[in-house]
Amino acid sequence: MPEPVAEPLLARSVDKRLVVVLVVAAALLVWFIRGLHWAELADALYGVKVGYLVLAAGLMLGDYFSRAVRWMLIVRHVDREVPLSTLWQATAIGAALNTFLPLRGGDLVRPAVVAQDRGAPFTTLLSTTVVERLFDAFGVVMALVLILLLLSSQTGDPATLAQLRRWGIGSGVLAVVGFGVVLFLATRQARATLMRVLRPWPAPVRMRMMRSYLQLAHGLEAAGNPLRLLPALLTTVVLWSFTTSAILATLYALGVQASLALGLFIAVALTASISVPQAPGYLGLFQVVMENAAMLWGVPEAVAEAESFVLWFVYVGPITLAGLWYAFRGRRGFFRFRRELLAGSEKDA
């Protein structure tokens, strides 16, 4: 019987990182709420245009669906027959659990659901989500480049242009380095290097670690295959279009005649704010980042506060309802997800 792997985030009762994240999130949320201009905020929310809000919700669901399509393009070399419906449901369920679990625990459940349904290695599927993060990094680079082009054509503020240029260069370097690391991990040289490093280790440990590495490398191979790389990049452009359009719709709902550059900038800020492990439902960091991102572009403070609430509702609400529906329909409760995650980890051990 294989030795159980150390329990993942969902199974840990005490975790110092969890405590730190929750404390920081609570502090940010309290700071955000204490600074609210309640009367102006109520006026901004009272005048919200529901039609634009519904449109934004639909566009954000399009974003999540595009992510499922992109994941399918990445996962196809692991499971050629995996249906899009399975990946879409797993994406929705994982996003819904992120609303209730800390440290983005739903991101671990997402590949676990597919692993259980399709019999694929959990570690391999988990590594494909790393490739997704790299595509998101390229999305940030593309958005920053487009913002620079838009602002340059509008003779934007030189200081703002310089700051965005630095962000763009930094994001581009990180994306290129990330892809380089991923491509190296999937090479024979990386395998040979690991075998040399593990040679002095006991045989059972060496075999277990090599098996985990091979499963990981198999999932990363999609990043080096042009036939999957290019369609996945195009899908990244599509999902960023959905995200930016949803953000612009929320701004229009609040009466802000927003520019494409503003929508893209908030989309970059949104991607940054949700990419780190944090409190359940992105509470705290999300609101602070969204408010400040809007204010940097001259949006009135009360309206920026309202935007942080409206965008949070649009980003979290519809996909959480969809994920809960799929979980209920599939008779998947929280403890079932926990068992699937542990079973997937133990199976790969």
pLDDT of res. 11? 43
- Specify if 143 maps to a domain: yes
- Specify if 170 maps to a domain: yes
| pLDDT under 50: residue ranges of the chain | 1-14, 335
Domain with 234 in it: 38-348
Contact indicator for 41, 305 with CB cutoff of 8 Å: yes
- For 200-213, what is each residue's pLDDT tens digit? 777 676 666 666 65
SS3 215: helix
pLDDT of res. 10? 40
Token pair in block for residue 138 = 């390229």
Report how far Cα 276 is from the mean position of its chain's Cα atoms. Answer: 9
- Specify if 224 maps to a domain: yes
pLDDT of res. 14? 40
- Specify if 11 maps to a domain: no
- Specify if 21 maps to a domain: no
pLDDT of res. 36? 72
Question: How many domains is the chain partitioned into structurally?
Answer: 1
- Specify if 123 maps to a domain: yes
- Specify if 24 maps to a domain: no
Distance CA 194, CA 288 (A): 43
Contact indicator for 191, 217 with CB cutoff of 8 Å: yes
**DSSP code, position 321:** H
pLDDT of res. 293? 87
Distance CA 78, CA 60 (A): 28
pLDDT of res. 141? 82
- Specify if 83 maps to a domain: yes
